[in-house]
A and B are shown apart, each in its own frame.
Chain A
């Protein structure tokens, strides 16, 4: 028997899509381990949605709510996760490599003295053990690794696996009586700087602009294209350093690692630091006037041309297509 516990996440009363993705993958792994999937939902506001995790493979959902768990804190959440692990005794604990998931699982793994493989791009079962793949050295190498200890722990990069078609199964939902303990680093306030911006790490479509955009004002071309196809706006380091976009938008080594289905790079040369953050994108499109730009060697589709001409035309054509 090998049971899997997944840490599900939620925001604004809704369970994250990447948690359904994780539930689906976990149920594949659990099948091979001849065990079941239990999902843990910490915090307030999504308890009523807990059952949805059952549609994607969790046979049991544990909710843990407490006034002190309104916001994520490493201390409070890792105490709850450790307590649930002590009760459930899973063999494998999985989370998403999101801003919460990678922090929470790292703190918990150290608390339990077990190994954690972060930001995995594949997970499988080998000889009854979890085996993962993850990129290292800016994506220039891939390692295969076995996290040691019981439970084995890993976080999975969002958008790595398809979300399975929902089934009608209802899981058992149980409430975990929780005590988050003493919290020494407290969230006082949460400020939304750009309402409605989807996080780059979970975005399925991204349109990014580089230094060639020339100004913050010109970035509106990127925003318009992004809006036309429901994408999130990204930027290269050069564009961020030049002040065209804020660091929240930066894709690459000193920014976010992204994994979208479609990545459109406009005026981005494709330095290794940028590739490090987006090379696992499923389809890469490059628009650049320099035919020698390294981005073209990684792109599935390229247009060599002036982005100030090409991008607005693209925006119009996508709008038209998607209206049809």
Chain B
């Protein structure tokens, strides 16, 4: 079975974000880059499926040269090979990213694609959906349980208020992976060694994009409004609780 995984390299959440002086982006210099946490569930689920059904797991990522590092990390977990779409100089937004990834996926003739349900840098949760639409496949996201029987996938999708949808999807399908789907494995030392010699092909963004361009015009980056630290209510639990209840009613007017 030919299994694709969409991967994005994102800033570690702990990284401090500095806005560029021109307000048009963020300083990348000091950012520590990691695999998008949700994409680790996608890699793991793909590896588990390969272990059952055989075949190959291919990691596809659209990013600049540094993204190769994230692909290598997925290869170290056990994926077979990687494809990086070089986006140097390309305006990347959910639309162009989906077009590029769908283009690469089409050439590979995947039977199923796993992706994180969203990337934690821009939190758009659009790309995997866009890839499915471009390919004419169904998508299901977020998914917290997955099973495959023949050409039919059974998926559990959490929706509002703890309600779960049980979904049946015909392959091929794009699956958006949610926390809880699995426990991603760590790369083993032999895995890391092997990953160094696994192939990572490079594609040119311009060839996949043609004349397509970004559909989101970001005009400004700014820092969020600072939350001022509020009042610490002094006193013993009884008195402090009474004062808090009073403040919530009389000052904040939320109760």
Contact = CB atoms under 8 A, between A and B. Distances in A.
B218 A144 contact: yes
A254 B137 CA distance: 26
A193 interface: yes
Contacts of A296: 229, 232
A313 B229 CA distance: 24
A145 interface: yes
Interface string A186-215: 111111111011110110010000000000
Contacts of B214: 115, 148
Q: How large is the interface on B (under 10, 10 to 19, 20 to 34, 35 or more residues)?
A: 35 or more
Interface string B48-86: 000000000000000000000000000000000000000
B137 to A, nearest CB: 8
Interface string A223-251: 00000010000000000000000111010
Given A109-B126, A296-B229, A11 B160 contact: yes
B139 A107 contact: yes
Interface string B157-176: 01111111111111001000
Contacts of A142: 221-224
Contacts of A304: 232
Contact of B240 (A72, A115, A198, A303): A303
Given A185-B138, A254-B37, A313-B237, A191 B164 contact: yes
Given A302-B233, A314-B241, A318-B245, 10 more contacts: A74-B129, A110-B133, A115-B93, A135-B224, A138-B120, A199-B161, A250-B179, A300-B252, A309-B237, A321-B245
26 contacts: A99-B158, A106-B126, A106-B130, A110-B98, A116-B215, A119-B124, A137-B17, A139-B224, A142-B221, A144-B222, A146-B219, A185-B169, A186-B168, A187-B165, A187-B166, A191-B165, A196-B161, A247-B144, A247-B179, A247-B180, A273-B13, A276-B120, A301-B248, A302-B231, A306-B237, A318-B255
Interface of B: 11, 13-14, 16-17, 19, 26, 37-38, 93-95, 98, 120-126, 129-130, 132-134, 137-141, 144, 155, 158-170, 173, 178-180, 214-224, 227, 229-233, 237-238, 240-242, 244-245, 247-249, 252, 254-255
